[in-house]
Amino acid sequence: MLGYYDNLQIVRSPNVLNIKRISTKYESYQKLTMSMRVKSYLAKLSPSLKQVIEYIYRSAAVIDFGRDTNKYPLASYYNIATDEYLVNLGYFHRPLYDIPFRDILSAFVMTSCCKFQPKNILAASYAQFLQGIIVKVFGNRYGILSHTDVIGKVYDVCFEYVTNHSPCRALIQALSKLMPGFSISVFITSLARILSITALPLFESYCRMLGTMIAGTFPNSLVPYIAKYNLSASNILYKQALSLFHV
């Protein structure tokens, strides 16, 4: 049975929740129905993505639904209290029955790496990947595309951010020294406009980045295909992401 959280409260961090299921609605949306829809959707996927979905689905006893758009207005979470995935209906602004099934799958695939965490962080590749996104999204606006020294410093900032597990605000502050006028509002609005708001978690944590990268490879996914922003780094990261699901 799929649980439901009403008035969802974010109590631990942006990446995971730690709350008990407090009510059960959507009883008609049983796991049997989900299973039938999963099997139908699998026919459209590559062998590796089929394995990802099958592995996640076998490991998830329940897929929960909540509604929150205030504290963390993204599509999904992982709940450590119940070891379950939580899809945020508030993100979609429509009832469950009206949400495309591919979007539901994309949402909890994006969160899945918060459960299946890697044993090691490929810090250099992650920093290189973030550097590629920052340069391509903001490089022209701040006139750094022709300044290889500044681009190199963007990598240094990203590497320090990754290895120190700093908050995203620290990354933005460090980048503002290289790109005067760069701010949190510029960062969020530009990424949301050029990529999608669903891509923002890739800056929050290594696990979220891996999940976002996999979710972006699904056909017609609500998550953008972010691997294209640095193919050499993303190929390395994508292989590690798949390995978390024994692919």
Spell out the SS3 assignment of 38-81: HHHHHCCCCHHHHHHHHHHHHHCCCEEEECCCCCCCCCEEEECC
By the 8 A CB rule, do 109 and 218 touch? yes
| Tokens at 32, concatenated | 């049997």
On whether the pTM is more than 0.85, the answer is no
Residue-level pLDDT at 70: 57
Residues linked to residue 86 through DSSP beta bridges, in sequence order? 64, 77
What is the residue whose two structure tokens read 């495309």? 100
Give the residue ranges of DSSP H helices in the chain.
31-42, 47-59, 89-92, 101-112, 123-138, 148-164, 168-178, 184-194, 206-215, 231-243
| Nearest residue to 160 via CA among 185, 137, 178 | 178
The residues, any chain, with a CB within 8 Å of residue 139's CB and separated by 6 or more, are: 145, 151
Backbone φ and ψ of 5, nearest 5°: -105, 120
Residue-level pLDDT at 38: 66
SS3 (DSSP) at 5: strand
Q: What is the mean pLDDT of each run of 10 residues along the chain (247 residues)?
A: 37 47 44 61 80 74 62 70 74 77 80 77 92 93 93 96 88 94 91 84 84 84 82 89 81
